[in-house]
């Protein structure tokens, strides 16, 4: 099926919430979108890529998951600033049909399923599609006639998300001070465990399906981020996208501080006893596993008692679990304190696109 650019845009527009309203004055179909700011608010914006073969596997990840996750990851950056998501732009490069192997086109049912997943995320996060750009992706020539070649049709998406936050109240990475308590949401390493199952081909086994959920449909903590902003409780915040060890190092570097993390306090993912994954242990997954998209934030000591223990009560849509995992300290070192009290340096060993290559 050959498609025209205008038809493609129309298919996207029909599937994803995109009607103009009080905030979105001009949406899809003009040269650019026009957005009206709310009084006393600032805009928070970021862009995130989601590329086949880099961020997802076209052969393993269901298209609906691809669409959901592409939008969820970008939205996570808004949650990490304490912003309320409002709008997004979708930029997508799709392989031209004539080089796509039969049954592997990305402009037919794959695209519909992908958009379905993205629409689901848009409704969940209350995001409206304001515009975007479509193009043919560059990997269009067949690699020696085989559909298994490295140059198989590839999809690349980029999501620009915009949210609003009360002026001057966005929570940055750089506000952590010695003595602040460090918190994380959810389980650490749960998304990485899901990815490991996919990479080992175990994701098709029904008994492990449940373990794929954090990898497929990460929870985005918008409500918690908003709550922390409104009550001015967080001194610094970011989302856990590349793994605790890497992300905590970034937060500490931005704040000019060090940190002390307690091994015993880490809410690491638990592996079912029947599941044996060579090289995967809960501590490594918890410290270095990426894509959890939980929030990592610090709270001044005197405010810690205001952080609810039973977060299900406050943030009941996703049963967010909050765990205090350590303290901000003077200096630059980030240390891990073991169960036996032994202290070791915590090296950043999470995800880095260019190091991983």
- Length of the chain in terms of residues written: 357
As measured in angstroms, the least distance from the Cβ of 140 to a copy of itself is 7
The per-residue DSSP string of 224-268 comes to: HHHHHHHTT--SEEEE-SS-HHHHHHHHHHHHT-EEEEEGGG--B
As measured in angstroms, the least distance from the Cβ of 225 to a copy of itself is 10
- Of residues 165 and 268, the one with the C-beta less far from a copy of itself: 165
Rounded Cα–Cα distance for residues 338 and 297 (Å): 22
As measured in angstroms, the least distance from the Cβ of 97 to a copy of itself is 7
The helix (run of H) or strand (run of E) holding residue 15 is helix 5-15
- Of residues 143 and 343, the one with the C-beta less far from a copy of itself: 143
- Of residues 54 and 213, the one with the C-beta less far from a copy of itself: 54
As measured in angstroms, the least distance from the Cβ of 229 to a copy of itself is 12
- Of residues 81 and 328, the one with the C-beta less far from a copy of itself: 81
- Of residues 177 and 282, the one with the C-beta less far from a copy of itself: 177
Q: Are 49 and 55 in contact (CB under 8 A)?
A: yes
As measured in angstroms, the least distance from the Cβ of 354 to a copy of itself is 5
- Of residues 140 and 270, the one with the C-beta less far from a copy of itself: 140
Question: ∠ CA 227-187-296 to the nearest 5 degrees?
Answer: 45
As measured in angstroms, the least distance from the Cβ of 88 to a copy of itself is 10
Q: Are 131 and 28 in contact (CB under 8 A)?
A: yes
In angstroms, what CA-CA distances link 283 with 103, 186, 187? 41, 15, 11
Q: Which residues pair with 87 in a beta bridge?
A: 128, 162
Q: Is the dihedral of CA 96, 101, 107, 111 positive or negative?
A: negative
Rounded Cα–Cα distance for residues 65 and 71 (Å): 10
As measured in angstroms, the least distance from the Cβ of 9 to a copy of itself is 10
HSE value, Cβ hemisphere, 13 Å, CA-based, for 341: 0
As measured in angstroms, the least distance from the Cβ of 353 to a copy of itself is 5
Q: Is 31 exposed, middle or buried (0-12, 13-18, 19+ CB in 10 A)?
A: exposed
- Of residues 171 and 280, the one with the C-beta less far from a copy of itself: 171
- Of residues 155 and 190, the one with the C-beta less far from a copy of itself: 155
Q: Is 67 exposed, middle or buried (0-12, 13-18, 19+ CB in 10 A)?
A: buried
């Amino acid at each position: 099926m050959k498609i025209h650019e205008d038809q493609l845009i129309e298919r996207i527009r029909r599937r994803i919430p995109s009607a103009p309203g009080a905030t979105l004055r001009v949406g899809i179909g003009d040269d650019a979108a026009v957005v009206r700011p709310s009084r006393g608010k600032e805009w928070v914006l970021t862009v995130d890529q989601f590329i086949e073969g880099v961020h997802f596997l076209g052969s393993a990840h269901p298209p609906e998951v691809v669409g959901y996750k592409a939008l969820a990851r970008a939205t996570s950056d808004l949650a990490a600033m304490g912003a309320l998501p409002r709008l997004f732009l979708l930029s997508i490069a799709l392989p031209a049909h004539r080089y796509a192997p039969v049954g592997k086109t990305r402009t037919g049912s794959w695209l519909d399923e992908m958009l379905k997943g993205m629409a689901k995320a848009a409704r969940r996060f209350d995001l409206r599609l304001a515009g975007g750009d479509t193009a043919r992706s560059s990997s269009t020539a067949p690699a020696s006639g085989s559909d298994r070649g490295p140059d198989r049709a590839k999809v690349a998406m980029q999501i620009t998300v915009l949210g609003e936050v009360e002026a001057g109240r966005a929570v940055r990475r750089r506000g952590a001070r010695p003595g602040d308590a460090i918190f994380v949401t959810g389980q650490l390493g749960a998304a990485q465990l899901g990815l490991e199952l996919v990479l080992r081909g175990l994701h098709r086994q029904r008994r492990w399906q449940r373990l794929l959920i954090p990898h497929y449909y990460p929870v985005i903590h918008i409500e918690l981020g908003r709550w922390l902003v409104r009550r001015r409780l967080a001194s610094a915040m970011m989302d856990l996208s590349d793994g605790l060890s890497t992300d905590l190092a970034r937060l500490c570097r931005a704040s000019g501080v060090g940190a002390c993390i307690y091994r015993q306090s880490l809410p690491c993912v638990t592996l079912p006893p029947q599941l044996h994954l060579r090289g995967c242990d809960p501590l490594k997954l918890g410290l270095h596993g990426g894509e959890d998209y939980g929030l990592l934030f610090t709270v001044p000591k005197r405010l810690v008692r205001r952080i609810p223990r039973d977060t299900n009560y406050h943030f009941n849509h996703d049963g967010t679990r909050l765990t205090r995992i350590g303290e901000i300290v003077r200096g630059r070192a980030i240390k891990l304190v073991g169960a036996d009290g032994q202290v070791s340096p915590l090296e950043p060993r999470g995800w880095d696109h260019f190091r991983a290559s």
